[in-house]
Chains A and B, each alone.
Chain A
């Protein structure tokens, strides 16, 4: 099912997290703490908004260096998966994971644009076009990943490692170079 960029992220909706080769030990199947953001800005992409192939192309363009060998993996999970990872863990019983859509990178970088402006008035946002505001400021083309979303929950080192153990056991990590 295809979803709109700003639609609510349901508990079972799968999202993908790009994993750099420096953050995953594929021999020992261990993740780095750094695949999560302690400040609550963990970037993910929604696989029901864009296909994995489309997202992969965007990721490749967003990297500075020839990228495919470095951007090696994608980790797939849903909000349900994250809650399941801490189920029964007394230390994290109060943690509620929250994923929010964030389809406009311009709004994120240039705070003068409100979410409402970007959502309701920006014609570029819904058509995957290069926003002229961003192109006037940055020399790099801005790639519009309108499948972008954020895990806004702040994730400590301990919590990250709890999530990593669970997700590694589910074998939800896939090589991007194969695709």
Chain B
């Protein structure tokens, strides 16, 4: 199909391109390129981690600014941060989402927009927030582990992601 012949109403909108990209393969890209009319434009618009999404609890705790930071992390390519950074890890993001989904609703409300989000060189996601006494809770989600530091108890360590349910319970107990 010649791109110049494509009627405007048949061309996908940006949001449609984003949705389609979750199933992206060579064929689909080819079709999208033909529809949009420029290889460059489609390629640029499909981020490397287009399929990564945040759990609803995560969105509440991060707020709009935190969600924007997450979206920018999704676009990071290998080599960010002086050549040392890796792209955002899907597995680490899943661990983060699971953590957020297990947090009780009352704490989600308490932490609304209060959680800071960072990205580490391993493609990890790090969060931190402070309780009412301004004591820091710092947790980082990697592919294969979760590291933490709780100022309230001075505890710092590493857990296996399989232990996340007990870890969330412990975190909530300390926060109370």
Give residues in A with beta carbon < 8 Å to B. Answer: 20-25, 27-28, 30, 32-34, 62-65, 70, 91, 156-158, 161, 165
Contact = CB atoms under 8 A, between A and B. Distances in A.
17 contacts: A22-B85, A24-B118, A25-B116, A33-B118, A33-B140, A34-B121, A62-B82, A64-B80, A70-B80, A156-B156, A157-B140, A157-B148, A157-B149, A158-B149, A161-B138, A161-B149, A161-B151
Nearest to A59: B82
A122 to B, nearest CB: 23
Contacts of B85: 22
A22 B119 contact: yes
A27 B120 CA distance: 19
A163 to B, nearest CB: 12
Interface of B: 65, 69, 72-73, 76-77, 79-83, 85, 114, 116-121, 126, 128, 136, 138, 140, 147-149, 151, 154, 156
A78 to B, nearest CB: 23
Contacts of B118: 22-25, 32-34
Given A62-B82, A65-B79, A161-B138, A34 B126 contact: yes
A60 B119 CA distance: 20
A165 B120 contact: no
Given A22-B118, A30-B128, 18 more contacts: A20-B80, A20-B81, A22-B76, A23-B118, A25-B117, A27-B65, A28-B114, A32-B118, A33-B138, A34-B118, A65-B77, A157-B138, A157-B147, A157-B156, A158-B149, A158-B151, A158-B154, A161-B136
A25 B76 CA distance: 17
Contacts of B151: 158, 161
Contacts of B82: 62-64
A34 B128 CA distance: 12
A33 B151 CA distance: 13
Scoring A22, A33, A64 by chain B CB atoms within 10 A of each residue's CB, the highest score goes to: A22
Contacts of A34: 118, 120-121, 126
Nearest to B122: A34
Contacts of A70: 80-81
B126 A32 contact: yes
Given A34-B126, A91-B154, A161-B149, A22 B73 contact: yes
